[in-house]
């Protein structure tokens, strides 16, 4: 019997747009590894069976993207603190006893901002727009990176309350109503973690939440980030950054977990940026 090839993949629905196969192929080439990394489209109800089939066919590691990041928690035999705190999994590692779940989204965002963009996040009064999977994924890492107070708003306010409660730092993390944003003053750091741009929807954001010092970051990239980043520029934010760098950094952190080697992310990031990829969804 021939030796089974180790396989890696991203599972999502939809997933055809994913840049992850391209990114992991570039990393593998850089460090001289030969590996197979596919994009696999699976509906939520079929994820467990698909992961089992993948493991049986040599699957050693996987990334998860929409809509699987939160539901996959229940399928894991073990979880990292990062995944548990985020309540979401974007990286799976095959162990003997099953899948071990981790989350590299938060560290990916923080590395993109602090290393690639050389920004200091410490002490920044921060506004997080959204309280879904993406917001859950990044909030713990932002707190760990030393931001100041964190204010969370969400269209359905009960989810902002739930995320604030889950983060467990009542003196530092606050939920607010979207309609009260205009009275909250300016923030040093605003993160768009909503999926509004992916749905081509606009958000009602008062200019008063931004000031000349404000860093604005959209976790999406391509077409989905255009609306929020245009708002940030017209609100005179100091910087407006999309999620392409975070995408490459979260992939590098997953790659390191699986292969024990840290790729150089900058050339891969620059290649993707040069392609000027205009895509409508996340990773």
Cβ nearer to ligand ATR, comparing 14 with 199: 199
Instruction: Classify the C-alpha dihedral 3-9-12-16 as positive or negative.
Output: negative
Tell the smallest beta-carbon distance from residue 182 to ligand ATR (Å).
16
Whether the CB-CB separation of 245 and 209 falls below 8 Å is answered with no
Count residues binding ligand ATR (CB under 6 A).
Answer: 18
Under the binding rule (CB under 6 A), the answer on residue 17 touching ligand ATR is no
Question: Which H or E element spans position 176?
Answer: strand 173-176
Give, in order, the Cα–Cα distances in Å from 272 to each of 8, 166, 248. Answer: 21, 35, 9
Whether the CB-CB separation of 25 and 80 falls below 8 Å is answered with no
* DSSP at 172: T
Under the binding rule (CB under 6 A), the answer on residue 250 touching ligand ATR is no
Q: Which stretch binds ligand ATR (CB under 6 A): 1-9, 47-55, 77-85, 193-201?
A: 193-201
Q: Please name which of 170, 113, 160 lies closest in space to residue 135, comparing C-alpha atoms.
A: 160
Cβ nearer to ligand ATR, comparing 39 with 193: 193
Catalytic residue among 7, 60, 69, 124: 69
Tell the smallest beta-carbon distance from residue 40 to ligand ATR (Å).
18
Cβ nearer to ligand ATR, comparing 133 with 263: 133
Q: Is 94 exposed, middle or buried (0-12, 13-18, 19+ CB in 10 A)?
A: buried
Tell the smallest beta-carbon distance from residue 130 to ligand ATR (Å).
4
Backbone angles phi, psi at 152, to 5 degrees: -115, 130
Tell the smallest beta-carbon distance from residue 122 to ligand ATR (Å).
25
Q: Is 128 exposed, middle or buried (0-12, 13-18, 19+ CB in 10 A)?
A: buried
69 is catalytic: yes
Q: One symbol per residue from 196 to 235: x for binding ligand ATR (CB under 6 A), - otherwise; what is it? A: x--x-x-x--------------------------------
Q: Which of residues 106-165 bind ligand ATR (CB under 6 A)?
A: 130-135, 154-156, 159
Under the binding rule (CB under 6 A), the answer on residue 254 touching ligand ATR is no
CA distance 51 to 25: 21
Tell the smallest beta-carbon distance from residue 178 to ligand ATR (Å).
7
- Catalytic residue positions, numbered: 69
Residues lying near ligand ATR in the complex (CB under 6 A) are found at: 66, 130-135, 154-156, 159, 193-196, 199, 201, 203
């Amino acid at each position: 019997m021939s030796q089974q090839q180790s396989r890696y993949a991203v599972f999502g629905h939809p997933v055809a747009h994913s840049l992850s196969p391209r990114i992991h192929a570039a990393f593998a080439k850089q460090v001289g590894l030969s590996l197979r990394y596919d994009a696999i489209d699976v509906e939520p109800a079929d994820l467990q069976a698909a992961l089992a089939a993948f493991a049986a066919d040599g699957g050693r590691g996987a990334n998860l993207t929409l809509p699987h990041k939160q539901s996959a928690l229940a399928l894991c035999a073990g979880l990292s603190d990062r995944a548990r705190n985020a309540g979401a999994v974007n990286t799976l590692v095959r162990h003997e006893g099953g899948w071990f779940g981790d989350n590299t989204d938060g560290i990916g965002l923080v590395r993109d901002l602090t290393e690639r963009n050389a920004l200091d996040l410490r002490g920044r009064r921060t506004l997080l727009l959204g309280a879904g999977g993406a917001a859950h994924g990044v909030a713990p890492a932002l707190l760990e990176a030393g931001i100041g107070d964190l204010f969370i708003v969400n269209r359905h306010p009960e989810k902002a309350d739930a995320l604030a409660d889950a983060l467990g730092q009542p003196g530092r993390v606050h939920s607010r109503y979207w309609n009260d944003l205009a009275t909250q003053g300016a923030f040093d750091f605003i993160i768009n973690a909503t999926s509004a741009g992916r749905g081509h929807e606009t958000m009602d954001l008062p200019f008063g939440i931004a000031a000349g010092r404000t860093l604005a970051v959209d976790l999406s990239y391509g077409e989905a980030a255009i609306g929020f980043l245009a708002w940030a520029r017209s609100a005179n934010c100091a910087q407006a950054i999309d999620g392409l760098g975070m995408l490459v950094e979260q992939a590098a952190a997953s790659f390191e977990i699986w292969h024990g080697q840290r790729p150089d992310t900058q050339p891969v990031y620059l290649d993707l940026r040069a392609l000027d990829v205009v895509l409508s969804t996340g990773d």
